[in-house]
Amino acid sequence: MTAPLDHAAVAAGATEALRVRVRRGDGVQDYAVPRRANQTVLDVVTEIQREQDPTLAYRFACRVGMCGSCGMTVNGRPRWTCRTRVAAVAPEGELLLEPLRNLPVVKDLAVDMEPFFEKWRRAHGFFDPGETPPDDFAAVPPDSPERQEVDAGIECINCGVCYAACDLVAWNPDYLGPAALNRAWTLVNDVRDRGQAARLAAVAGDAGCHSCHSHMSCTEHCPKALQPTFAIAGLKRETGKAALRRLWRRE
């Protein structure tokens, strides 16, 4: 069913209509939305929900590319929608919007992020201060090699776009995935952290960094231009070194 076009909005400045199809469970629903200058995909979804169909479920918070909550599949590709302009992804005026892949759907375009963050926990993706953390703040020189190594990776906004883009997650739902492994790599390079042995063991298992096929889909799709593939390569190196150290200690 196609919802009626808002003719008042068209008269107010929008000259064309976008055809928007939204996956809702097993079906796809059609909407027509006025096309506007500089319109984002999130603007379109919000307009449908506010003006045509209040039952449509989706998620967003900041609208400025900071919170990571607005991920959707747009014409077959995972994207952050608040910073994706319609003109760039739908030159023909047609949008197919679906929930992010590899995550359970709560309703319509809203997915359950719990499995994504559970993998952060499994990858030891949290700061470990050790038993006796110093009282004072530790100084981390901004130009030290470790801090430089993760200068980009710490900007991750947890949007799940890379996770949805990863075929390995689709094939093996147990695989930790690019975001959790990227997070682990930022902590492996944190000179204040005292949980390195446990973290390297956590990411070295069957569903960890060594499963990654290095096919770069996560890196190609990350809206923040981060490079999880290279973070995972770093983890492969460090887990390999840790295994050799264990071997030498036994000899």
- Residue numbers at the binding site for ligand FES (CB under 6 A): 60-63, 65-70, 80, 82
Task: Pick the piece of the chain touching ligand SF4 (CB under 6 A) from 11-19, 89-97, 159-167, 199-207.
Answer: 159-167
Examine residue 216 and tell whether it contacts ligand SF4 (CB under 6 A).
Answer: yes
And the tokens for 43? 């603007």
What is the chain's Cα-based Rg?
22
SS3 5: coil
Examine residue 168 and tell whether it contacts ligand SF4 (CB under 6 A).
Answer: yes
Sole residue written with tokens 């005026």: 93
Out of ligand SF4, ligand FES, none, what residue 15 binds, judged by CB under 5 to 8 A for its kind, is none
Out of ligand FES, ligand SF4, none, what residue 227 binds, judged by CB under 5 to 8 A for its kind, is none
218, 73, 88, 83: which is closest to 156 by C-alpha?
A: 218
Q: Are 71 and 65 a contacting pair, CB within 8 Å?
A: no
And the tokens for 11? 């008269």
Per-residue x/- mask for ligand SF4, residues 99 to 138, rule CB under 6 A?
Answer: ----------------------------------------
Task: Indicate the residue among 48 and 188 with the shorter CB distance to ligand SF4.
Answer: 188
Separation of alpha carbons 43 and 84, rounded Å: 10
Minimum distance, C-beta of residue 157 to ligand FES, in the bound complex (Å):
6
Task: Indicate the residue among 97 and 168 with the shorter CB distance to ligand SF4.
Answer: 168
Minimum distance, C-beta of residue 128 to ligand SF4, in the bound complex (Å):
21
Characterise 123 by phi-psi region: left (phi > 0), alpha (psi -120 to 50), beta (else).
alpha
Q: Are 132 and 143 a contacting pair, CB within 8 Å?
A: no
Task: Indicate the residue among 52 and 230 with the shorter CB distance to ligand SF4.
Answer: 230
Examine residue 82 and tell whether it contacts ligand SF4 (CB under 6 A).
Answer: no
As to burial, measured by CB atoms within 10 angstroms (0-12 exposed, 13-18 middle, 19+ buried), residue 246 is exposed
Q: Which helix (H) or strand (E) holds 86?
A: helix 86-89
Examine residue 239 and tell whether it contacts ligand SF4 (CB under 6 A).
Answer: no
Q: Apex CA 198: angle with CA 197 and CA 203, to 5°?
A: 100
Out of ligand SF4, ligand FES, none, what residue 69 binds, judged by CB under 5 to 8 A for its kind, is ligand FES
Residues 6+ positions from 10 with CB-CB distance below 8 Å: 17, 34
Task: Indicate the residue among 24 and 59 with the shorter CB distance to ligand SF4.
Answer: 59
Examine residue 229 and tell whether it contacts ligand SF4 (CB under 6 A).
Answer: yes
Separation of alpha carbons 165 and 195, rounded Å: 29
Examine residue 182 and tell whether it contacts ligand SF4 (CB under 6 A).
Answer: yes
Minimum distance, C-beta of residue 104 to ligand SF4, in the bound complex (Å):
17
Provide the binding-site residues for ligand SF4, judged by CB under 6 A.
Answer: 156-162, 165-166, 168, 178-179, 182, 212-218, 222, 224, 226, 228-229, 232
